[in-house]
Each structure stands twice: as C-alpha cells, then as structure tokens.
Amino acid sequence: MPRPIITLTTDFGLSDHFVGAMKGVILTIAPNADIVDISHELPPYSVSEACFLVGEATPWFPKKTIHVVVIDPGVGSARRPILVEAAGQYFIGPDNGVFSMVRAAAGKSKVREITNPKWMLPKVSRTFHGRDVFAPSAAHLAKGAAPAEAGKLIADALQLRLAAPEQTNKRAWTGVVLKIDRFGNMITNFIAADFERIRTRPFELAIGFERLSKLAINYAECGYGELFVIEGSSGYLEISANQAHAAKKLGCGVGAPVELTLY
Amino acid sequence: MPRPIITLTTDFGLSDHFVGAMKGVILTIAPNADIVDISHELPPYSVSEACFLVGEATPWFPKKTIHVVVIDPGVGSARRPILVEAAGQYFIGPDNGVFSMVRAAAGKSKVREITNPKWMLPKVSRTFHGRDVFAPSAAHLAKGAAPAEAGKLIADALQLRLAAPEQTNKRAWTGVVLKIDRFGNMITNFIAADFERIRTRPFELAIGFERLSKLAINYAECGYGELFVIEGSSGYLEISANQAHAAKKLGCGVGAPVELTLY
Amino acid sequence: MPRPIITLTTDFGLSDHFVGAMKGVILTIAPNADIVDISHELPPYSVSEACFLVGEATPWFPKKTIHVVVIDPGVGSARRPILVEAAGQYFIGPDNGVFSMVRAAAGKSKVREITNPKWMLPKVSRTFHGRDVFAPSAAHLAKGAAPAEAGKLIADALQLRLAAPEQTNKRAWTGVVLKIDRFGNMITNFIAADFERIRTRPFELAIGFERLSKLAINYAECGYGELFVIEGSSGYLEISANQAHAAKKLGCGVGAPVELTLY
C-alpha cells in the first residue's frame, strides 16, 4: 500500500530550521508519511504567489494527497487555521486566501476551521504554526483521522478574486501578469483556449513599451533573446524570450497590465 | 514498520553534485532508508550557524533518527569523524563543535570516534567525507549496525561554549544575537522563560541605535515595519519587525550585543 | 523490497511550480516511487554543467535507479526525448548531450528515442516536457515497464566531446576549468591519476595571473585564503583556497585555460 503523501509549500527558505522542524513533527506523529517538498522558496509573505503555485502544482498529485501550505504573515493573530477538501485532495494552511485558485478550479470545496487541540502540539507558539498546528494536523490526517475531526465547517473562508481579463472594446482586452517564473517567462491571465483566434489571425499584445505580434510554437524556433507570445504549459498566454529573461528585457513585473487586440 | 530516517544538513548548496552523491551512497548501502533534507543552504564553513540549526530542528524528530551534519572546514585534517548519541537520536559529522547545542540540551550524551573502515567507502578522499565517511556510516547504522561498531568512546569531543547572557548590574544583562532568520528576525540568547517579568513590567532592550520597549504577542498586531520584541518559537526573545527585515533595519548581525534592562 | 528510486535534476529552481508538478505526475502513476532530489539549481540552459553534475552524482546510486534530467532549452522543438541505459542505471531526458559524461564513463550504453504515447501524458505541452514526457516515462519504468517499450534504439544521440588536456610540449599540457563549485573550488579536466608525478616532483600550474606550485593534502593545512592545487574528490586536480573562493580570487570561470608544467 502506498504511503500517505504530505507535500510542503512554504516561504521559509532553506537556511533556517523551520522546514526541518516541520518534517520532524510530521514523522513523529505519522512515521509512514511520504514528505514531498514542493517549494520553500516562495517570496516571503506573498500570498498571491503561493496561491498561484499551489494552484498549478497540486492538481498533478494523486487523490488523498495532503498539501500543507505555510505562507502566513498573520500567524498568531485572529486568522484561522483551515482544512480545505477540494478535488479529492486535502489542503492545510492559514485562512488568508492561499487556496483561492484551488477552490475556484475545483468548483466546490469544503472548508473547516481547525480547532481540535489534538491536531496541534501541546504548546502552540505565537509565531510558528507551521510546526505547531499545520504539520501535526497533516500528520493526524495522514494517520487516518477523519477530516470532520479537525473542526466545524465554515462558509466565510477568505476567497481572493482571481481577475479575468476585461474586454475594453469589441476587439480589445486588458489583462495582467500573474507570475514571472525563474526563466523570466511572464504568465498572463489570458487563458489561451479563450483566445484561439490568435493562432490563425493577426493580433497585437502590448506590454511595457513593446507590442508583440508573434505567436511561437516553442522557444527554440525564435532568435536568441527575441520576445514572443506562447501558449504556456499552464494554459495561459505567456510572454517569453528564447534563452533570455523576458521580464528583465521588458522591465515589467507581476501585476503589469497586458493589452490584447485582435485584428 | 517505518523506514529508518536519515536527515541531511550541509553547507553544500544545491547546485553541485555533493548532496546527490551522498544520497546515492546512502541508498546503495541502505535501500530502505528514508532520506529527509533539513538544509543544504547553511553559510559555508559556519559551524556556529549549523550548531544552532541542528539544535533547533532535530529535537522534533522521532527517537532513533540519524542526523548527518556536514559543515566541515577541517575535512581531511586531524579532526575526527564522530557519532553522538543524545536524547535517543544519533548524530554523525565532524568533531568541530557542531553538536554542542544538541549535547548541552540532552544533558548527557555518548561520543564515539568513527574509525571502523567498514563504515567508510573503500577509498576515502581527502576533501569529501560527507560522501566517503558520514553517509556510509549513517547507512550502516540505519541497516542495524550497533553504535559501538563505529569505534571507541571518546571524552574530549570539542564542545563549544554556548554563552548565556551576563548580568551586568542588579537590573541589567548583556546578551548577543545568535541567529538571523530568513525573515530578518534576530534570535537573541535571552531565554524568555528566564525573564518573564518583561510580560508585565516595563523593560528596555537596546540593540544598535535603538531602544525597544514593546513586547508583542504576534507579528500582526504591530504596524508595518515597526520594531518590537517577541517570544520566538524557539523560546528565545527575538527582535522582529512586522513584514520587514529587522536585522537590515537595525544594521546589526549575528554576534551583535543586546542589552536588557528591567524597570 | 526497496521502492524504485527516481532522481530529479533540473534547472527549474525552487520558487516555481515546475518541480512540484513533476513529482505529482510521478506519484500519480507510480505511488510507490521514492523521489530523490539531486539538484534543481543548475544554471538555466547550461547543458555542460548538467552533464558534469549528472556524471559525478549518479554513479553513487544503486543499480536500476532512474535518473530524470531536465535541462532543456530545445523543449518543443525537434530534439528527441531519450532513455539511456548505462552502467546498470536508467537516464531520461532530452537528447542534447546531457548524458555524455555518463555514457563515456560507462563505455557502452543503449539509447532509445521515447516515442510511446503511453509513456507520456495525454496532452503534451510545447514547453514543459519535464511534466508531460520525462516524469511519466520515469514513472512507467519504475512501475515495471520494459525499456524497450519506450521506443526504438537510436545510434545518433548527441554526444558532447569531453576534452582531455592536450600536450603542448614534452613537459607541458593545456587543460581547462570544467566546473566551479559552491565553495569556489575550480575543478580542472586534469585527471590526477594521469599526473602522479606532481606528488613527488616540482610542478607549476598556471591559471589567470597566478602560478601555483603547492600540492595540498587537505584544505586545512594551508593558510587562510592561500591558493593551492589539490586532488579533488572526483579524481580531478582542483584549484582551491582554504575557506576562500578560489575562482573569485583568480577572476576566472568555467572554460578558463589551465597550463601544467612538470619539472
């Protein structure tokens, strides 16, 4: 029988003891758990980056996987710890909107506030709920505890608005850069399948001081450093440059506006 | 039956082959081992940082866990490879003081010099004992070898002095910054439980050019960027700033003096 | 029975969702797989760095290990996905030379083009074959599929020339820096066993503006920051500095020429 999988996604970095302490807590409670690192290099405090990463990485995992996400600027305050059930998987973390993309994609989901002291360490600190609340909760779930033991269902979990592009006239839309990846690819919020016409007809995508009109099939077909639009692996239109950092070339970051015009 | 756990803590970084080679050696000898990364991003050569990280992360692991720590500027010289038994867990690494905090917290511990050639690779290089000595030793222990097979007990393992704050007059103490974490929180060597009076009475904590007198319960209750004192998750007083980097704001680093005055 | 091991080596970094998505795909197909991270911090697009890292890390793993390597600037273009069998292990990645060192060391190897659609996800993107081709291929192999199911043997896989030092006169050779590790050690392509005479007789190794004539046995025997030559743990001559960054001191990088003269 496969071991229960617990994934970890945090902004803790890898030079401190935080991630190690969480892993120790999990393995003490659920020695059989298979801990899988997704990322510990999220930008500190960036709930929106974490929301995107969790939304893109977790759908590829098997049913029953338990995902622990700790990006938690409000630790120790009134924000609640929650357990989300969505798309057959479990998500544990703070109620700060970090699961918004997962929940929106799943359509329906259940959210419980984690209040059961048995799911927490005996002493809960004010500043490290990754170790004291989220890790032990995941481990108890992995050991076979029922989700309902976590606590009561809540209906008012924080759900971030995930902005779709807005149509500004008959042939034009305004969207936004959601994410810049390590290679400098700029992932926009234009879903490629909603704009299939750009595959066959002229278009212009304006970002920063550039106007792009080339849709590439892969990176390698373009000249070194050339900017182009491509359908990314997440299904969004991306702005890329072959073996170069598109975002640095354009001087734009997350949140930069993107204008699409179809001709 | 759960698999034997071997954790890894090194200053090897993640862009070289060192960590991969160690994992391969472990899995060749002990295919059943469960390898858990604690950190590979320790600052190169910093035994004191490693000592703190190991002291904070490893107590959370189950009994019998085997912790391999490779921060080893003296590799290939006369410094001995050691196996420490403390608090029901095992620690393998160089005899350079890196296990001082673990040993001090445990109260009593046994230390053996690893001399058994069967616990090492057939050819031991002069520069990579992580692969040639520490990884195979951990794997043999995980496979069921007795600790005594490693080599003889020694009584003179290097033990760093872990400085407690010094009292400078009736109401004042001088301590030091032990560690700065990824978020810029400055962990001091003042143990919060030893200074409970600051919870109810005025105090002043001087660091750099600042004098702090606010004790926060959590990060979120303070203004953005505001400096304050908080009881950290390791039980030490910490100097923090809400969603800002306290150490950069103060221009202070590890080893900076901290003066506490009670009123 | 030990779980099948799948290692991951990529240039994806750890702040994006790419590595997490690959792990999810693997665990969905082969829930029993033991995923081992070798590195996700390779410099983007650097096939030669990846080739060296894979060549140095993978020989330490047990037979039957499956190594997935994704450093893939040509993703989505005509470059083929391949499965290499060498030295009793499996290697999956793009046909861009990244397995050259492994294949050269093994002497003989078999290479197959991966063409079986059952080894890929139902929808293969143009930009993320790590998730859509390489991860599922590794998982099917881990589940017991025969290598021959991947596709046909090919004889023209790209093999990089791994340059050995050239003799320039009776007592002199010209080589090159292959790799600079995290500590600043400069790994040359001089195989120490081919130049044993330097252990007993005077020599001079010229790099940048320096001429080195000291062969050290270990780092610690030299003065802080002193430059010297040492036989590295990979069997190559390395240029190092005790607790200092040799490459920065010399102002040289990968590919810098190295001249060795024996006296």
Angstroms from A229 CA to nearest CA on chain C: 12
Task: Enter the tokens of residue C37.
Answer: 């991270």
Chain mean position to CA C219: 24
Q: Six-digit token pair at A243? A: 């073996």
User: Who's near C198: CB < 8 A, 6+ residues apart?
Assistant: C215, C229, C237, C260, C262
Residue B178 has pLDDT above 80, yes or no: yes
Classify B262 as helix, strand or coil.
strand
Distance from CA of B8 to the nearest CA of A (A): 10
Provide the residue-wise pLDDT of chain A in tens; the chain has 263 residues.
Answer: 779 999 999 999 999 999 999 999 999 999 999 999 999 999 998 999 999 999 999 999 999 999 999 999 888 888 999 999 999 999 999 999 999 999 999 999 999 999 999 999 999 998 999 999 999 999 999 999 999 999 999 999 999 988 889 999 999 999 999 999 999 999 999 999 999 999 999 999 999 999 999 999 888 788 888 999 999 999 999 999 988 999 999 999 998 999 999 99
Residue of A nearest to C13 (CA): A182
pLDDT of residue B233: 93
A89 reaches C (C-beta below 8 A): no
Residues 64-83 of B with CB under 8 A from C: 73-77, 79
Q: Is the Cα dihedral C243, C248, C254, C257 positive or negative? A: negative
Looking at chain A, which residue has its C-alpha nearest residue B37?
A20
ipTM: 0.93
What DSSP assignment string belongs to B88-155? TEEEEEESSSTTHHHHHHHS-EEEEE---GGGS-SS--SS-HIIIIIHHHHHHHHTT--GGGS--B-S
CB-facing half-sphere around the CA of B117: CA atoms within 13 A: 3
pLDDT higher than 90, residue B73:
no
Give me the pLDDT at residue B243, please: 86
For chains A and B, CB pairs below 8 A equal 107
- Is A27 near chain B, with CB under 8 Å? yes
User: What percent of chain B shows pLDDT beyond 90?
Assistant: 87
Of A36, A183, A219, the CB nearest to C35: A36
For residue C122, the chain A residues in CB contact (below 8 A) are none
First-residue to last-residue Cα distance in chain B:
56
A: neighbours with 3+ CB pairs under 8 Å?
Answer: B, C
Band of pLDDT at residue B223, cut at 50, 70 and 90: confident
Residues of chain B with Cβ-Cβ distance to C37 below 8 Å are 14, 37
For residue C243, the chain B residues in CB contact (below 8 A) are 44-45, 73
**Pick from B42, B62, B233: which is nearest to A127 by CB?**
B233
B20·C43 Cβ contact <8 A = no
What per-residue confidence (pLDDT) applies to A185? 94
Instruction: Give bridge partners of residue B231 from the DSSP assignment.
Output: B237
Q: Exposed (0-12), middle (13-18) or buried (19+): which is C1, by Cβ within 10 Å?
A: exposed
C-alpha–C-alpha distance, residues A64 and A68, integer Å? 13
Q: How far apart (Å, rounded) are the C-alpha atoms in residues C40 and C43?
A: 9
Q: Please give the C-alpha separations between residue B111 and each of A126, B73, B114, in angstroms, as whole numbers.
A: 36, 20, 9
Model pLDDT, residue B95: 97
Answer whether C24 sits within 8 Å of A182, measured CB to CB.
no
Look at residue C76 in the predicted model and tell me its pLDDT: 81
Chain B partners of C42 at a C-beta cutoff of 8 Å?
Answer: 15
Size of interface B-C (CB pairs under 8 A): 109
> Are B24 and C221 inside 8 Å of each other by CB?
no
Q: Which of A10, A263, A244 is nearest to A130 (CA)?
A: A10
Give contacts of A 126-145 with B, CB under 8 A.
Answer: 126-128, 131-132
Pick the residue from chain A with its C-alpha nearest to C129: A233
| A32 min Cα distance to partner chain B (Å) | 6
Record: contact C20-A41, CB cut-off 8 A: no
Chain C residues with CB under 8 Å of A42 CB are 15
Kindly state the tokens that stand for C257: 């020429």
Average pLDDT in chain C = 94
CA distance C168 to chain A (A): 36
- Nearest CB neighbour to B2, from listed A12, A31, A127: A31
Are A221 and C77 an interchain contact pair (Cβ–Cβ within 8 Å)?
yes
Asked if the Cβ–Cβ distance from A61 to C28 is below 8 Å, we say yes
Would the CA dihedral through B38, B63, B46, B149 be positive or negative?
negative
CA–CA separation, C56 vs C128, rounded Å? 26
Backbone angles phi, psi at C206, to 5 degrees: -100, 130
Mean pLDDT of all residues in B223-237: 92
Q: Does A203 touch chain B (CB under 8 A)?
A: no
Stretches in chain C below the pLDDT threshold 70: none
Query: How much is the pLDDT for A125?
Result: 93
Tally A–C CB contacts below 8 A. Answer: 107
In 10 A of CB A130, how many CB atoms?
Answer: 26
Counting as contact any 3 or more CB pairs under 8 A, the partners of B are A, C
- By the 8 A CB rule, do C20 and C81 touch? no
Whole-model pTM?
0.94
Task: Name which of A11, A17, A36, A129 to mutate to probe chain B: the one with the most chain B Cβ atoms within 10 A of its Cβ.
Answer: A17
Tell me if chain A has a CB within 8 Å of the CB of B9. Answer: yes
Q: What is the distance in angstroms between the Cα of A27 and the nearest Cα belonging to chain B?
A: 7
| A165: DSSP letter | P
B30's tokens: 């002990």
Is the CB of residue B59 less than 8 Å away from at least one CB of chain A? yes
Of A5, A182, A221, Cβ closest to residue C44: A182
